[in-house]
Structure 1
Amino acid sequence: MARRLSWKKERFNMAVSRREFLQGGALATALVLSGKKAEAGGADAPQMRTKGLKSSTTICPFCAVGCGLVVHTKNGKIVNIEGDTQHPINQGALCSKGSALFQVANNDRRLQKVMYRAPGSDKFEEKSWEWALERIGQKMKETRDKTFKAKEVNKKDNKEYVVNRTEGMAFLGGAGLDNEECYLWSKFARAMGVANLEHQARI
């Protein structure tokens, strides 16, 4: 029994001298520090990824939270989008939609031209923005003229009241609009007599 214990002690004896211990510790410290230095100056480091790029701040267009973004551009093209750490709302954090915003700006499938499919047609055709705006205005006027109500009888008291509204179309706003754009958009909707006025962020 004593021989077996002494054999095990000799087999698992991993004695390290003081000199070897200090040498190993110094080597481990050097490896850790060199790794951190390489990481800080590597291609993936934040200060290296955005070096020499023009940066500007903006607001995420997906919802009404208003998270801040930093957009980096090179020769007029967006090359990086990330959360703004100085913004009081998100402090640099982004949701999955905000994190993927780069794909919205740089996407081969993003439509940049007006594509119109006529009623009964099975294919789209390219149209100009001037044609599209004139077409939209024409359709809006036709719809308003057909569905506009100047007066309406209240069923409760059987009296006629001035309403000046159209129920043939609705306006749905988007969170990509800023306050000034929303103000003009809502004023235009009410001037048209649109009663069905709603916003994407609320619903």
Structure 2
Amino acid sequence: MARFSFLEWPVVRQLRTADSTARSSATVSEHTRELTSRNATADRVVQSVCPYCAVGCGQKVYVKDEKVIQIEGDPDSPISRGRLCPKGAASEQLVNAPGRQYEVLYRAPRAKDWQKLDLEQAVEMVADRFLEARRNKWQDADDKGRRLNRTMGIAALGGATLDNEENYLIKKLFTAAGAIQIENQARI
């Protein structure tokens, strides 16, 4: 670290320069002049859409060494014009959170510990339980004989971290399966 000079005090810099209002270079320290944006080191910038709600705000995703280093609002987006809500502004944490799980975990009924499952086994378990719940609570008709063709054994609650396409497909799947209790967190 360099030795501090009296001439580098902001007030002295202000008097030495033409910056009499101290709104320009007089107030900028050497340390501040050396700072660079973390985005300046990015290898590439990818345009994306915020995954949190149905608004579809534009995002710029900064990537370095194939890892997301920053996500910001896209000023070229006609929807958000570079602005993001607090959730959208924090979406980099969704990608790089240290607690993010990359394996399927399962806790059996009344078990205390989680066990790792391979994805194929987990999908089979979910599909079997889905079909069983649909079959057990299926209603062909009501008491007056009116056709219902629905199940009361399945409900869906879409999450705000799912994108619009995922929520659309979930809605179609559950409607086709006969479920009528379909909701989304973004609407609640």
- Between 78-87 and 59-68, report the one with greater CA deviation: 59-68
The alignment's C-alpha RMSD in Å is 2.7
The alignment partner of 1:50 has SS state of helix
- Which of 62, 66, 70 is residue 52 of structure 2 equivalent to? 62
Superposition deviation, residue 27 in structure 1: 3.1
TM-score normalized by the length of structure 1 = 0.73
Find the counterpart in structure 2 of residue 163 from structure 1.
148
Could you say if the C-alpha distance between residues 194 and 126 of structure 1 is closer, same or farther in structure 2, counting changes exceeding 3 Å?
same
1:16-66 CA distance string (max 9 Å, x none):
xxxxxxxx9883237944877x79974334xx7334521111122222332
Q: Where do residues 105-120 of structure 1 align in structure 2 (5 Å cutoff)?
A: 105-120=95-110
Output the CA distance in 1 between the equivalents of 2:163 and 2:141. 34
User: Relative contact order (alpha carbons < 8 A, sep ≥ 6): 1 or 2 greater?
Assistant: 2
For residues 63-110 of structure 1, the C-alpha deviation after alignment (integer angstroms, 9 at most, x for no partner) is: 233222111111211111111111122222222222222222112211
Aligned-pair CA distance for 1:129: 0.9
Q: What is the letter of the counterpart of residue 149 of structure 1?
A: Q
Unaligned runs of 5+ in 2: 1-12
In the alignment, which residue of structure 1 is the partner of 2:81?
91
* Worse-matched range after superposition: 180-189 or 165-174: 180-189
Q: Which one of 178, 185, 188 corresponds to residue 193 of structure 1?
A: 178
**Match of residue 166 from structure 2:** 181
Is 2:30 aligned against 1:43? Answer: no
Question: Deviations for 1:136-155, whole angstroms, at most 9, x for unmatched residues?
Answer: 000001111110011112xx
**Count of equivalent residues:** 173
Q: What amino acid sits opposite 1:28 in the alignment? A: T
Where 1:201 maps in the other structure, the secondary structure is: helix
Higher deviation after alignment, 168-177 or 81-90:
168-177
Displacement after TM superposition at 1:121 (Å): 0.5
Q: Pick from 54, 59, 70: which aligns with 1:80?
A: 70
Give the Cα–Cα distance (whole angstroms) in 2 for the partners of residues 173 and 85 of structure 1: 29
Could you tell me whether the CA contact under 8 Å between 2:53 and 2:164 is conserved in 1?
no
The unaligned stretches of length 5 or more in structure 1 are 1-23, 154-158
- Distance (whole Å) between structure 2 residues aligned to residue 182 and residue 70 of structure 1: 22
Aligned mates of 1:188, 1:49 — CA distance in 2: 40
| Kept after mapping to 2: 8 A contact 1:55/1:73 | yes
Say yes or no: does 1:134 pair with 2:134: no
> How far is the alpha carbon of 1:162 from its aligned partner?
1.0
* Counterpart residue identity of residue 44, structure 1: T
Give the greater-gyration-radius structure (CA): 1
TM value normalised by structure 2: 0.78
